[in-house]
Structure 1
Amino acid sequence: MPLAPTTAAAAAAQQLESLLPRLTTLFHFKQFHARLLASDNLHSSPTLRARFLDRLALSPHPAALPHALLLLRSLPSPATNDLNAALRGLAASPHPARSLLLLAGRLLPAPAPPLPRFDALSLSFALKATARCCDAAATVQLHALVLRLGVAADVRLMTTLLDSYAKCGDLASARAVFDEMSVRDVATWNALLAGLAQGTEPSLALALFHRLVGSFRELPPREEPNELTIVAALSACAQLGALQDGLFVHDFARTLGVEHNVRVCNALVDMYSKCASLSRALEVFYSIKLEDRTLVSYNAAIQALSMHGHGAEALRLFDEMPTWIQPDEVTYLAVLCGCNHAGLVDDGRRVFYSMRLPANVKHYGTIVDLLGRSGRLTEAYDTIMSMPFPADIVLWQTLLGAAKMHGNVELAELAATKLAELGSNVDGDYVLLSNVYASKARWADVGRVRDTMRSKDVKKVPGFSYIEINGVMHKFINGDKEHQRWREIYRALDDIRSRISELGYEPETENVLHDIGEEEKQYALGYHSEKLAIAFGLISTPPGETLRVIKNLRICGDCHVVAKLISKAYGRVIIIRDRARFHQFENGECSCRDYW
């Protein structure tokens, strides 16, 4: 007895559906599309059509997504599921903003049919697109749609909304969404934690983490922390250089049983490195089984070695990477930075010219810095001029720094001119150029630079430093008298000056670009933020304890000399993490070997 028509159609649809997982090429997709049309399943089986659209839109083939949009446009009455499939594909594509255009009905030109009513899933895909685009205004508009549709009770949707706000940098709105949610799950906590940790409020991320841990035993199962919670908290510790908090998070990872998760291990390597504990970072890296290590694992370890001045070891680890792991832009930058910090010119050039992918501006900047600091100024300049894209401000600042280091007035003037053309107006540019003139006793030119600074109202970037004492971060700015123990700190600085003077200390006042007397210059140098942080560390910790300081700018030459002498005079190990790298001072020497 023949099958009823509806039963036959259903059987045909089921047969076609079984073929979906086997579609891998664009030709396969087109064949399947043709069979849908021939069997009339394109219109009679909306569920099958939506699943096909979804698979087509998410295909890695560059022509697949445009084909999916053409299919959507050809439908006389597209369903919400059809729209969502296209939205999902666009949100994950290299051009996520087009997802928003589709939602607004502007992507499909007339005479396209009116789009169906969108639902919570539609908004979720659109919010993922705004997060990738960092489009805060669009996120606000989508938030309004969420409220208008009455779907604010959807936990997943609200978590996606929170995540979008966070990734767009609107942390206040992200926190507001979190606070307004009556029901949360672990993904909600993780989204806010990651947003705060990777944004401008890592200290709030840690506060939120401690709040979560404090109520850990009372939390419902859906809100229990997981490995992503740990990764977000470790990211905050890394930003702050908060070693004690990092140790606590590591212990909590053991409590959860996720300390061997590779993502957690990668975050631990990064955290320990940035908290000036290289030995712990490497211990975690080498605890990961070789077969479990990922590209991120190697990148984190190579970066750790490079930042701490172990360029040869970073290069060795790079050369020992397994063949199944291919280096990416981050890998090359990390190993180049290692060569740069260690002065490994030939090795750096070898790595740079053997890169298997196009070099970006950061790669060029690192090799220019390496060449310039080694005195190969002509090669550094030629490298800039050979780039396939225009040099940015940082590159010309790098060349200016090299010219200052080697007293090349002509190159310094050229770099300064380029910086002026690009609109750079930071004090460091003027300081470097002035120092070049001063080294050649061209005092009229030094005066001209100072006059230019005054006329352009050049603002000095304020220097500040942090030091962690008993789990509390203390911040200092240059000349700081806001700390409650500032009088003790200043007395400690007097003692420091007395002790290091006996070791031959002479203030390096030539880098102070002010029209003031020598005594005033010495005063300006004497109260730099890292000196205040070190002095506070000396009076707040027992003898022999390592001091760890974080600074927002590069350490100046005078502070570098002072830190070396303090390490010898007081028998302390002092680790300073500046904007570019780590300096470990011990027994009057620095790990950078005075090359930074």
Structure 2
Amino acid sequence: MASQCQLDSLLQKCTSLIRMKQLQAHLITTGKFQFHPSRTKFLELCSISPAGDLSFAAQIFRLIETPSTNDWNAVLRGLAQSPEPTQALSWYRAMSRGPQKVDALTCSFALKGCARALAFSEATQIHSQLLRFGFEVDILLLTTLLDVYAKTGDLDAAQKVFDNMCKRDIASWNAMISGLAQGSRPNEAIALFNRMKDEGWRPNEVTVLGALSACSQLGALKHGQIIHAYVVDEKLDTNVIVCNAVIDMYAKCGFVDKAYSVFVSMSCNKSLITWNTMIMAFAMNGDGCKALEFLDQMALDGVNPDAVSYLAALCACNHAGLVEDGVRLFDTMKECGVKPNVKHYGKACDIINSMPMVPDVVLWQSLLGACKTHGNVEMAEKASRKLVEMGSNSCGDFVLLSNVYAAQQRWHDVGRVREAMKIRDVRKVPGFSYTTEIDGKIHKFVNGDQSHPNSKEIYAKLDEIKFRARAYGYAAETNLVLHDIGEEDKENVLNYHSEKLAVAYGLISTSDGTPIQVIKNLRICVDCHAVIKIISNIYNREIIVRDRARFHRFKEGVCSCRDYW
């Protein structure tokens, strides 16, 4: 019989399932399989190696008369990494019911299965068990646990696990920062990143990816620039994924020139995602011509565009009103072998009717939005019916249809839609805006907000703006207020939109000439767009507004979108 060293060597040479079966047959025929110390390694190899097979690993496992904890763990690890991670939870339950002793690795592998399957309830049960077993001092296990809570949406539970850890490693910090960033708590993610550095930790690639994601969500340019400087100093910019995140951060902060500068200066090889990120950056900032130029350039550089590349370029054409270029692109992508998916068909109803696949919810919602823009009631009703048939219950569907009716002053139909929303318990998403990084903080405003400490000064500034704007020929677009109220009330509603409040706060809180950055969760309205153009001229300010679709860069009375959005 081969020695332990010889067997380990044989295990390393098992690069195919056939070789594994040959080795397993050898172990069985020699009578040493039940007792050999390399049995667990053999099971692990069958479970997790690319050449392995989980069903074969399970078959081998069943041949073991008295499997050890390590034998169970070997298969559990493979199941947790498999396309069906829920099987890992079944395996864990079966093990827990038997005589085998569960250890920290068992819990860790089971929790990894929970994370991939988004199994919150099972994770809480394992949490209580690991406390009972006395595993709460295991850093790796607790890090896996907080990662599960973060990925399943319970950030408070994740934070509690993090705060109660008697000792942390870099993976613990990374899991918490990424969890906060991905869980719509980007302010806390940035604060934790800063705290991590203050406590003497050196962020790595994973850390900065989470922090950069948070900056992208908030449009937090100053924080993003600090992180970028750290990336350069620590030579983390040799990682293409980190460079892609930096490009995306600058693009989503509205500084496409800085994003392009990073793109040009990259020392590592650019990936397909790098090119796609840059094309989308130009698209979001309304530079359709540059986006199309980049699409051509990437092909010349030997990078084949994919469906995402073309979708980004089509978005650029849409934002810039490049209809002919959009049609040409659509034909080109099919000629290049890129099969259009349902998002590429989001153009108009005649395209929808000719599509070779069934339109999805996103496409019908896009058409409903176009109906609102063009005031097409009949088509809006058709799109709305299709969305109901497909089971969509999004507040946006109802709000868009209600707005189409309201624009035509069909108040009875508006009331009917609102009643349907009540019956279905659909709540409208309130509009809000952020003014970013004033005094190191992010300031949030909702329509008609009076909760801000500087509310009096903000409203006084808005009155001043309204008075000065009239000298430039401004008249409130009261037809945009989709409520059955008087003209004066409509004008007041418009004057206190969240983006106007955010801009006014920026004006009173920053020195002359300082750019103002605003992020809005919904599409900027026509009246706010007109007023902010005037503000940029009156106060000689560059104002960058990121709404849910794109960037608007206002300067000297002109917007980068050329009034097309």
Relative to the length of structure 2, the TM-score reads: 0.90
Secondary structure of 1:43's match? Answer: coil
Letter in 1 for 2:203: P
Instruction: Give 3-state SS (helix, strand or coil) of 1:550's partner.
Output: strand
What's the secondary structure of 2:91's corresponding residue?
Answer: helix
The answer as to whether partners of 1:339 and 1:347 remain within 8 angstroms in 2 is no
2:458 counterpart residue number = 489
Tell me: CA distance 1:583–1:354, structure 2 relative to 1, closer, same or farther (3 Å). farther
Matches within 5 A, 1:132-147: 132-147=116-131
- Of 436, 447, 461 in structure 1, the residue corresponding to residue 412 of structure 2 is 447
Q: Give the counterpart of 1:519 among 455, 464, 488.
A: 488
Q: Does 1:387 align with 2:341?
A: no
Matched letter for residue 85 of structure 2: P
Residue 466 (structure 2) pairs with residue 501 (structure 1) = no
Looking at structure 2, the residues matched to 505 and 554 of structure 1 have their Cα atoms a distance apart, in angstroms, of 21
For 2:482, what is the secondary structure of its paired residue?
A: coil
2:61 maps to 1:72: yes
2:319 partner letter: H
1:415 and 2:383 are equivalent in the alignment: yes
Aligned positions of 1:88-237 closer than 5 A: 88-105=77-94, 116-216=100-200, 223-237=201-215
What residue identity is the alignment partner of 1:304?
A
Matched residue of 1:447: which SS?
helix
- What are the superposed Cα offsets for residues 347-372 of structure 1, whole Å, 9 maximum, x if unpaired? 4423653686766xxx523531xx23
- How far apart are the structure 2 equivalents of 1:499 and 1:381? 49
CA distance in 2, matches of 1:358, 1:105: 45
Q: Is the Cα contact below 8 Å between 1:268 and 1:281 reproduced in 2?
A: yes
Q: Following the alignment from structure 1 to structure 2, what is the Cα–Cα distance between the partners of residues 239 and 280?
A: 17
Q: How many Å apart are 1:422 and its aligned residue?
A: 4.6
Matched, 1:590 2:559: yes
SS at match of 2:67: coil
Which amino acid is the alignment partner of residue 43 of structure 1?
Q
CA contact (8 A) 2:364 2:387 kept: yes
Q: Distance in 2 between matches of 1:102 and 1:274?
A: 44
Q: 301, 306, 320: which is aligned to 1:342?
A: 320
Letter in 2 for 1:504: G
Q: How far apart are the structure 2 equivalents of 1:172 and 1:433?
A: 37
CA apart distance, 1:329: 6.0
- TM-superposed CA distance for 1:204, in Å, is 1.4
Segment of structure 1 superposing worse, 524-533 or 536-545: 536-545
Q: What is the TM-score of this pair, normalised by structure 1?
A: 0.85
Per-residue Cα deviation, 1:401-451 (whole angstroms, up to 9, x for no partner) = 223334433322211222344565666545544555577x6x5x4432334
Measured at CA, do residues 283 and 459 of structure 1 come closer, stay the same or move farther in structure 2, by a change above 3 Å?
Answer: same
Contact kept in structure 2, 1:380 and 1:399, CA below 8 Å: no
Q: 1:426 to 1:137 in 2, by over 3 A?
A: closer
Distance 1:309 1:41, change over 3 A: farther
8 Å Cα contact 2:237-2:266 kept in structure 1: no
Q: C-alpha separation between the residues in 2 aligned to 1:346 and 1:454?
A: 40
Q: Which amino acid aligns with 1:124?
A: S
How has the CA–CA distance of structure 1 residues 354 and 574 changed in structure 2, closer, same or farther, with 3 Å as cutoff? farther
Query: Partner residue of 1:297?
Result: 274
Structure 2 distance, partners of 1:427, 1:133, is 28
Contact 1:234 1:268 in 2 (8 A): yes
Aligned pair count reads: 557
CA-CA distance at 1:522 after TM superposition:
1.6
The aligned residue for residue 268 of structure 1 is: 246
Match of 1:83 in 2: 72
Question: Is the contact between residue 131 and residue 164 of structure 1 (CA under 8 Å) also seen in structure 2?
Answer: yes
Q: Distance in 2 between matches of 1:504 and 1:482?
A: 31
Q: Secondary structure at the match of 1:544?
A: coil
Using the alignment, how far apart are the partners of 1:70 and 1:243 within structure 2?
Answer: 55
8 Å CA contact 2:402–2:418 kept in 1: the answer is: no
Query: Are 2:34 and 1:17 aligned?
Result: no
Q: State the distance in 1 between where 2:480 and 2:391 align.
A: 23
Cα distance change on mapping 1:126 and 1:519 into 2, 3 Å:
same
Q: Which residue of 2 aligns with 1:563?
A: 532
Gaps in structure 2 of 5+ consecutive residues? none
Structure 1, unpaired ranges of 5+: 1-8, 108-112, 217-222
Partner secondary structure for residue 575 of structure 1:
strand
Q: CA deviation at 1:465?
A: 0.5
CA distance in 1, matches of 2:196, 2:229: 15
How many angstroms apart in 2 are the aligned matches of 1:46 and 1:210? 47
- Paired residues of 1:339 and 1:348 also in contact (CA < 8 A): no
Deviates more, 1:51-60 or 1:429-438: 429-438
Following superposition, the deviation at residue 101 of structure 1 comes to 0.8
In structure 1, how many angstroms separate the alpha carbons of the residues matched to 2:138 and 2:367? 54
CA distance in structure 2 between the aligned counterparts of 1:528 and 1:513, rounded to whole angstroms: 14
Give, in whole Å, the separation in 2 of the partners of 1:137 and 1:232.
26
| SS of residue paired to 1:212 | helix
Identity value in percent: 48
How far apart are 1:181 and its partner, in Å? 1.4
Quick check: 1:464 aligned with 2:456? no
Are the aligned partners of 2:333 and 2:339 in contact in 1 as well (CA < 8 Å)? no
1:491-540 Cα offsets, whole Å, 9 max, x none, are 22122223332333232222322111122112111111001111111222
2:548 to 570, 574, 579: 579
